[in-house]
Amino acid sequence: MSETADSGRPFDSTDLLALPVLPAVVGDLLAAFGDDQLDLQRLTQLIRYDAVLSARMLTVTNSVAYARQAPRTASLEQSLTRLGLDTARAIVTTTALCQSPSFPYPIPTSELNRFWRHSLACAQMARRLAEMTGYPDPDEAYLGGLLHDLGQLIIGVRHAGVFREVRVLAPLQHEIPNLERRLFGADHCELGAALVDAWKLNSFLADAIRFHHLSAEELRGTHPLLRLLHVANTLSQEEEPRQDALLNADRFFSLPPALLMQARAEVDREMKNLASDLSVVAAVVDVGGDTVSTPAQAHLRQTLQEQSLINEVRMVLCPVDDEITLLDAIVRCVAILFNLPEAHFFLHDPATGMLCGRENDGRLREIVIDPAVADNVVNRAWQEQQIVHSFGEKTAKIGIIDYQLSRLWGTEGVLSLPLHTSAQSLGVLGIGISSAQLARLLPQTRLLRLFARAAATALEELRQHEVHQRRVQEDRALLEQQRLRAALHEISNPITIVRNYLYLLSTELEPPVAQEELRVLREETERVSRILLRLGHSDETGLERSCFDLNGTIRDLARVLSDTLCRPRGIRLQLQLMDDLPLLEQGRDAVRQILLNLVRNASEALEPSGTITVSTQDRVNLQGQQYVEMTVADDGPGLPSALRTALFQPVASTKGSDHAGLGLAIVKNLVEELDGHIICRSTAGGGAEFLVLLPRS
């Protein structure tokens, strides 16, 4: 075998991008990332099936980018948690894109299958042995088994035909490292260990990989992980384990040969089940040839194509900054992706609960679908959150609206795509199609589902952005009004002094001309005062001097807040109001604004099924003064301690720099104008509680 120029080149982390991965695993992972019910445990399980993907995840996790966040780890579950789903998806997608569609690696397909089978079997055996011997970290043992031969892939990619030649020239396991060093200047044990060394773990995992081909005699007295991996590698070979291997295992861990053979049989059964779990068979078993394209590879190519198309869709939709333009862009994407010109929206109206056509969509705007009673494919798509079409139904079962839509669009039938995200359902996209188009679209069901999800996500994000911008503008306007009123209050003082001096002058000056001039000055001063008074009370938050019922004000506003802020988010708003509160002398509108801001902040901090409680209490004593208390409490995650000291400052906010914490700053200003106090504290069971103390009459 001829050597190449990089024969002795050590392991480099970029080698991982050049290594082949199990197509079924990558395909299933990409599909899982597009699933509404994304399960971290399922993602971890899939990644654990492939040595290269596992190594890539841990390499990124233990890189300098995450060095300050947490201790270095060999746990894939901790790795995924630390990376986050977006980064994990990027790693999987990048890995998939680096795979050649036809897999033209210098490693034959049959050899790759043999490598994958052995790595998985060794990992399963290592974990089983760890559990049998009481080793404290079975997952670490599993990872060692999965990665122990990764160096073989690195050598195999650098040198064509290496797998078969090494197996022929070194039939015994302990001979392989010496042969590899002689032929290539490095052995697969050192290359795999170098990868783990780069992670700088507080673990003997790298040594276990480095020495797993040493003899049993050399490994006596070493760390249990080194002996575990040695035994797991020996017992997971394709051929039956030799008697001396079983005896060595018995000497290492006092496990009798019969028990070890039982463990091997259990691992064999698990390996047979893995083919089903990975959704393919051909990628795990020998396909009988070196260049056969397996179903898993075809599935991976299709998945990558779908992901690429959806990314293009996102690039079209993301820059759009108003809803009408966005909906038009989605319709254009339907025409571009699927060649379907008749696509129309039925968006959910939270106020009525109906599915309504767009205002600018001709006769379609007259169609309003009641999800509670309507029987049609649009409603079924909304209710079931599934793609639904009107073909294959008996004529008697076709809804009247299905018939009307087909007639309006001049098509044979209707295809309905539900527009929903993990947070909410926004409506349905109805598409007019023919039976021939349906036959073409059915194989693209997953692409249709991904497209609908991307469209719904773009629409939801745009609406959230618009609501956020509107609230920012409202909060800034309120804060400016508070600043204006403060300035006007200061201005009124010198004007009052001027008015008083004018009066004094009028009593001391006798000439009629001087009296007339003073009268003009007094009138103009009064006019300035009236202008300033109007400016100071031009908004609804002015502190009117009429008595009001605090409980009644809360009840009136709670109905609106429950319908608009809480129930659409799945949040419960409950009242616990003390009877027989005294009337308050001033600030009804100010109290309404305070309650609105506090409930709105709480609703934005809560997940669905959360609860906001508004309560009142009389005769609260603070520093010898009596107050009426209004409390707004939630059972959410609570406030970080670092934010509490500057909570009511205009720059203190957990919602981004654009919001600037103006809502709470306005609340504080309003409470202080009422001569009250506001206090924030965390509750014992989690959540935040704002107490507003208002002076008692």
Q: Is residue 284 part of a domain?
A: no
Tokens 């429950």 appear where?
562
Label residue 483 by pLDDT band (50, 70, 90).
confident
Q: Is residue 318 part of a domain?
A: yes
Question: What does the pLDDT look like over 567-581, one tens digit per residue?
Answer: 888 999 999 999 989
pLDDT value at residue 426: 92
Contacts of residue 523, Cβ cutoff 8 Å, sequence gap at least 6: none
Label residue 612 by pLDDT band (50, 70, 90).
very high
Inform me whether the pLDDT recorded for 292 exceeds 50: no
Label residue 648 by pLDDT band (50, 70, 90).
confident
457 and 525 housed in the same domain: no
Tokens 């590879």 appear where?
297
- Which residue range is the domain that position 494 belongs to? 467-536
Inform me whether the pLDDT recorded for 513 exceeds 70: no
pLDDT value at residue 7: 44
In this prediction, residues 591-616 reach a mean pLDDT of 89
273 and 368 housed in the same domain: no
> Taking the CA of residue 128 as centre, how many other CA atoms within 13 Å lie in the half-sphere pointing to its CB?
23
Label residue 296 by pLDDT band (50, 70, 90).
low
Label residue 1 by pLDDT band (50, 70, 90).
very low
Neighbours of 513 (CB within 10 A): 8
pLDDT value at residue 468: 82
Q: Is residue 478 part of a domain?
A: yes
The tokens describing 641, both together, are 């301690």
The domain spanning residue 572 has which CATH number?
A: 3.30.565.10
336 and 449 housed in the same domain: yes
DSSP string, 484-497: HHHHHHHHHHHHHH
In this prediction, residues 661-670 reach a mean pLDDT of 76
Amino acid at the residue 88? A
Give me the number of domains the chain comprises.
4
pLDDT, averaged across the chain: 80
323 and 249 housed in the same domain: no
Amino acid at the residue 570? G
Q: Which of 464, 499, 515 is the last residue of a domain?
A: 464
Inform me whether the pLDDT recorded for 659 exceeds 50: no
Q: State percent of the chain over pLDDT 70.
A: 80
pLDDT value at residue 283: 40
pLDDT value at residue 541: 44
In this prediction, residues 230-249 reach a mean pLDDT of 84
269 and 384 housed in the same domain: no
477 and 561 housed in the same domain: no
Inform me whether the pLDDT recorded for 697 exceeds 80: no
The tokens describing 411, both together, are 């098509």
Question: What does the pLDDT look like over 361-382, one tens digit per residue?
Answer: 778 888 889 888 878 899 999 9
210 and 170 housed in the same domain: yes
Inform me whether the pLDDT recorded for 289 exceeds 50: no
3-state SS, one letter per residue, for 269-327: HHHHHHHHHCCCCCCCCCCCCCCCCCHHHHHHHHHHHHHHHHHHHHHHHCCCCCHHHHH
DSSP 443: G
Bridge-based pairing of strands 413-420 and 388-389 is antiparallel
Q: State percent of the chain over pLDDT 90.
A: 23
Q: Which of 277, 300, 321 is the last residue of a domain?
A: 277
Contacts of residue 501, Cβ cutoff 8 Å, sequence gap at least 6: none
pLDDT value at residue 141: 94
518 and 562 housed in the same domain: no
CB 241 within 8 A of CB 215: no
Q: Is residue 306 part of a domain?
A: no
DSSP 173: G
